[in-house]
Amino acid sequence: MIVRSFIGLVALLLLAAGPVTAQPRFDFERTATLMPKTVLPSRVQLRLDLDPAKPTFSGDVTITLRVRKPVPAIVLHARDLQAVDYAFAIEHWQALARLAGDGAFGGSSWLLPGIVWWPSDPQMAQRLLQDQQRLAGATGASTAERVAAGIQIRSRLREREASALAAALATVSTPH
């Protein structure tokens, strides 16, 4: 009797629950994302050189991208990648320039200046001017000149303020 009542209760609950349907199929194009869908990683490969005796490690990251449509820039969000970005842009200039196009407010004339706009190394400013002339010709000269001028200003500011900053930091007591 108890078994029959239990089976009846389960059957009643199943009928009361209504029909069960599967969730909709995943649709990449309609799914909201934080990053644009124009450039997608298709493969990420890490090679790490680990030494347990050292507090740091080194290695390589290789990211294979699938570019779904031309874009003016591909932005990597990571610290201290300027040299890697710059070397990559030099090595793959033709392909990147083709993808970036030649728009007035971006495009290939901003490939190199867009990577090095923030440092304060005067040698980088000189290298930017030379590489931009060699790769982009006169088309990107004014962009590179503006960015190089900003680098030079930051370099002079850093040199001028370095001693004052060092003196100010020397007066700060460090808690032990």
Tens of pLDDT along the chain (176 residues) come to 676 777 877 776 767 666 778 888 888 888 887 777 888 888 999 898 888 888 888 888 888 988 888 877 776 665 555 666 788 889 998 998 888 887 666 788 888 888 887 777 888 899 999 999 999 888 888 889 999 999 999 888 888 887 777 777 777 755 54
Quote the domain boundaries for residue 132: 37-171
* Domain-embedded: residue 12: no
* Domain-embedded: residue 1: no
Number of domains composing the chain: 1
* Domain-embedded: residue 5: no
* Domain-embedded: residue 107: yes
Tally the residues of the chain: 176
Angle between helices 122-136 and 93-100 (to 10 degrees): 80
Q: Which two tokens stand for residue 98?
A: 């083709």
3-state secondary structure of 142: helix
pTM over 0.85: no
* Domain-embedded: residue 160: yes
